[in-house]
Amino acid sequence: MRRKCFISFKTEDIHYKKFIQSELDVDMIDKSLDVAIDSDNEEYIMRKIREDYLSSSTVTIHLIGRFSAENRGYHEQKYIKRELQASLYNGNGNTRNGILGIVLPEMYDQIYTGSHFCNDCNENHNYVNINNSTTIKEFSYNYYIPNNKCAHSEDDRYCVLVKWNNFSKEPNKYIEKAFEKRSNPIANKVKVYPS
Protein backbone atom coordinates (compact mmCIF):
# COMPACT_ATOMS: atom_id res chain seq x y z
CA MET A 1 0.00 0.00 0.00
CA ARG A 2 1.41 3.39 -0.98
CA ARG A 3 1.47 5.98 1.80
CA LYS A 4 1.37 9.73 1.29
CA CYS A 5 4.49 11.02 3.02
CA PHE A 6 5.63 14.51 3.94
CA ILE A 7 9.34 14.97 4.72
CA SER A 8 10.17 17.51 7.44
CA PHE A 9 13.84 18.48 7.39
CA LYS A 10 16.36 21.24 7.99
CA THR A 11 17.90 22.78 4.87
CA GLU A 12 21.30 21.43 5.89
CA ASP A 13 19.92 17.88 5.48
CA ILE A 14 18.32 18.30 2.06
CA HIS A 15 20.66 15.72 0.48
CA TYR A 16 19.03 13.01 2.66
CA LYS A 17 15.59 14.12 1.52
CA LYS A 18 16.68 13.99 -2.12
CA PHE A 19 18.18 10.53 -1.57
CA ILE A 20 14.83 9.27 -0.22
CA GLN A 21 13.01 10.77 -3.18
CA SER A 22 15.32 9.57 -5.94
CA GLU A 23 17.41 6.64 -4.74
CA LEU A 24 15.30 4.51 -2.39
CA ASP A 25 12.70 2.02 -3.50
CA VAL A 26 9.98 3.69 -1.46
CA ASP A 27 6.35 2.82 -2.07
CA MET A 28 5.06 6.29 -1.27
CA ILE A 29 3.32 9.24 -2.82
CA ASP A 30 5.64 12.14 -2.05
CA LYS A 31 3.75 15.10 -0.56
CA SER A 32 6.93 16.95 0.35
CA LEU A 33 7.56 20.61 -0.21
CA ASP A 34 10.28 20.79 -2.89
CA VAL A 35 10.16 24.50 -3.70
CA ALA A 36 10.07 27.27 -1.11
CA ILE A 37 6.78 29.15 -0.83
CA ASP A 38 7.36 32.67 -2.14
CA SER A 39 6.32 34.77 0.83
CA ASP A 40 7.73 36.46 3.92
CA ASN A 41 4.46 35.94 5.81
CA GLU A 42 5.10 33.05 8.20
CA GLU A 43 1.38 32.43 8.87
CA TYR A 44 0.65 32.26 5.13
CA ILE A 45 3.55 29.86 4.55
CA MET A 46 2.38 27.50 7.30
CA ARG A 47 -1.26 27.65 6.10
CA LYS A 48 -0.12 26.71 2.58
CA ILE A 49 1.99 23.83 3.93
CA ARG A 50 -0.95 22.54 6.00
CA GLU A 51 -3.51 22.89 3.21
CA ASP A 52 -1.46 21.86 0.18
CA TYR A 53 0.92 19.25 1.63
CA LEU A 54 0.13 17.99 5.12
CA SER A 55 -3.69 17.71 4.99
CA SER A 56 -3.53 14.90 2.43
CA SER A 57 -0.47 13.10 3.82
CA THR A 58 -0.61 10.16 6.27
CA VAL A 59 3.01 9.85 7.45
CA THR A 60 5.48 12.61 8.29
CA ILE A 61 9.12 11.64 7.96
CA HIS A 62 11.18 13.79 10.33
CA LEU A 63 14.91 13.85 9.57
CA ILE A 64 16.87 14.18 12.83
CA GLY A 65 20.25 15.73 12.13
CA ARG A 66 22.71 18.10 13.81
CA PHE A 67 20.43 21.11 13.24
CA SER A 68 17.13 19.62 14.49
CA ALA A 69 17.35 20.30 18.23
CA GLU A 70 14.84 22.30 20.26
CA ASN A 71 17.60 24.16 22.06
CA ARG A 72 18.67 25.86 18.81
CA GLY A 73 15.84 28.35 19.47
CA TYR A 74 12.28 28.84 18.25
CA HIS A 75 13.13 31.09 15.31
CA GLU A 76 15.55 28.52 13.91
CA GLN A 77 13.07 25.64 14.40
CA LYS A 78 9.74 27.35 13.69
CA TYR A 79 9.04 25.54 10.43
CA ILE A 80 9.85 21.99 11.52
CA LYS A 81 7.98 22.64 14.80
CA ARG A 82 4.89 23.78 12.93
CA GLU A 83 5.15 20.95 10.43
CA LEU A 84 5.20 18.43 13.28
CA GLN A 85 2.38 20.24 15.10
CA ALA A 86 0.22 20.15 11.96
CA SER A 87 1.16 16.48 11.48
CA LEU A 88 0.11 15.59 15.05
CA TYR A 89 -3.14 17.56 14.97
CA ASN A 90 -6.28 15.47 14.61
CA GLY A 91 -9.32 17.60 13.87
CA ASN A 92 -11.48 19.33 11.32
CA GLY A 93 -9.88 19.06 7.87
CA ASN A 94 -6.79 17.27 9.16
CA THR A 95 -6.20 13.72 10.34
CA ARG A 96 -3.16 12.92 12.46
CA ASN A 97 -0.13 11.59 10.61
CA GLY A 98 2.08 8.80 11.78
CA ILE A 99 5.49 10.24 12.68
CA LEU A 100 8.70 8.53 11.58
CA GLY A 101 11.92 9.99 12.99
CA ILE A 102 15.02 9.05 11.03
CA VAL A 103 18.28 9.53 12.93
CA LEU A 104 20.93 10.70 10.49
CA PRO A 105 24.42 9.11 10.80
CA GLU A 106 26.10 12.14 12.39
CA MET A 107 23.64 11.86 15.31
CA TYR A 108 24.04 8.15 16.12
CA ASP A 109 26.50 8.67 18.98
CA GLN A 110 24.48 11.49 20.50
CA ILE A 111 21.19 9.58 20.43
CA TYR A 112 22.13 5.92 20.96
CA THR A 113 24.19 6.13 24.13
CA GLY A 114 24.20 2.53 25.37
CA SER A 115 22.38 0.84 28.22
CA HIS A 116 22.02 1.41 31.94
CA PHE A 117 20.95 -0.68 34.90
CA CYS A 118 17.56 0.24 36.36
CA ASN A 119 17.25 -0.01 40.14
CA ASP A 120 13.44 -0.01 39.88
CA CYS A 121 13.09 -3.20 37.84
CA ASN A 122 16.61 -4.68 38.12
CA GLU A 123 16.91 -4.83 34.32
CA ASN A 124 19.16 -3.15 31.76
CA HIS A 125 17.52 -0.60 29.45
CA ASN A 126 18.90 0.81 26.22
CA TYR A 127 19.10 4.57 26.47
CA VAL A 128 17.92 6.59 23.50
CA ASN A 129 18.72 10.26 24.01
CA ILE A 130 15.63 11.90 22.49
CA ASN A 131 15.24 15.31 24.12
CA ASN A 132 15.70 19.06 23.53
CA SER A 133 19.38 18.56 22.71
CA THR A 134 18.71 16.17 19.83
CA THR A 135 15.28 17.01 18.39
CA ILE A 136 12.25 19.23 18.86
CA LYS A 137 9.68 18.83 21.66
CA GLU A 138 6.90 17.83 19.27
CA PHE A 139 8.89 14.69 18.49
CA SER A 140 10.55 13.99 21.85
CA TYR A 141 7.35 14.28 23.92
CA ASN A 142 5.46 11.91 21.61
CA TYR A 143 8.34 9.47 21.59
CA TYR A 144 8.62 9.46 25.38
CA ILE A 145 4.96 10.01 26.32
CA PRO A 146 4.87 10.12 30.14
CA ASN A 147 3.85 6.68 31.43
CA ASN A 148 5.01 6.35 35.07
CA LYS A 149 7.14 3.35 34.11
CA CYS A 150 10.90 2.97 34.21
CA ALA A 151 11.05 2.32 30.45
CA HIS A 152 9.02 2.71 27.26
CA SER A 153 7.97 -0.18 25.04
CA GLU A 154 6.97 0.32 21.39
CA ASP A 155 3.33 0.46 22.50
CA ASP A 156 4.18 3.39 24.83
CA ARG A 157 5.47 5.55 21.94
CA TYR A 158 3.56 7.32 19.21
CA CYS A 159 6.63 8.35 17.22
CA VAL A 160 8.67 5.66 15.49
CA LEU A 161 12.47 6.03 15.49
CA VAL A 162 14.98 4.39 13.17
CA LYS A 163 18.62 4.87 12.17
CA TRP A 164 19.21 6.10 8.62
CA ASN A 165 21.11 2.91 7.69
CA ASN A 166 18.18 0.70 8.74
CA PHE A 167 15.60 2.94 7.07
CA SER A 168 17.51 3.02 3.79
CA LYS A 169 17.50 -0.81 3.69
CA GLU A 170 13.76 -1.22 4.43
CA PRO A 171 12.02 2.14 4.05
CA ASN A 172 8.53 0.76 3.47
CA LYS A 173 8.68 -1.28 6.69
CA TYR A 174 9.27 1.83 8.83
CA ILE A 175 6.80 4.01 6.94
CA GLU A 176 4.16 1.35 7.56
CA LYS A 177 5.05 1.14 11.27
CA ALA A 178 4.49 4.90 11.58
CA PHE A 179 1.24 4.69 9.62
CA GLU A 180 -0.10 1.94 11.92
CA LYS A 181 0.48 4.09 15.03
CA ARG A 182 -2.45 6.27 13.90
CA SER A 183 -4.90 3.55 15.00
CA ASN A 184 -2.89 2.39 18.02
CA PRO A 185 -4.31 3.28 21.50
CA ILE A 186 -1.22 5.44 22.18
CA ALA A 187 -2.57 7.89 19.57
CA ASN A 188 -5.06 9.04 22.24
CA LYS A 189 -2.15 10.35 24.36
CA VAL A 190 -0.48 12.47 21.68
CA LYS A 191 0.25 16.07 22.57
CA VAL A 192 0.37 18.57 19.71
CA TYR A 193 1.84 21.50 21.69
CA PRO A 194 3.99 20.04 24.46
CA SER A 195 5.15 22.46 27.13
Inform me whether the pLDDT recorded for 47 exceeds 80.
Answer: no
Helices (H), the chain: 14-22, 42-49, 74-88, 108-111, 137-143, 164-169, 171-180
Q: 183: which strand partners?
A: none
Inform me whether the pLDDT recorded for 113 exceeds 90.
Answer: yes
Inform me whether the pLDDT recorded for 74 exceeds 90.
Answer: no
Q: What does the pLDDT read at residue 187?
A: 97
Mean per-residue pLDDT for 86-112?
A: 93
The class of domain 3-189 in CATH terms is: alpha beta
**Spans of all domains in the chain:** 3-189
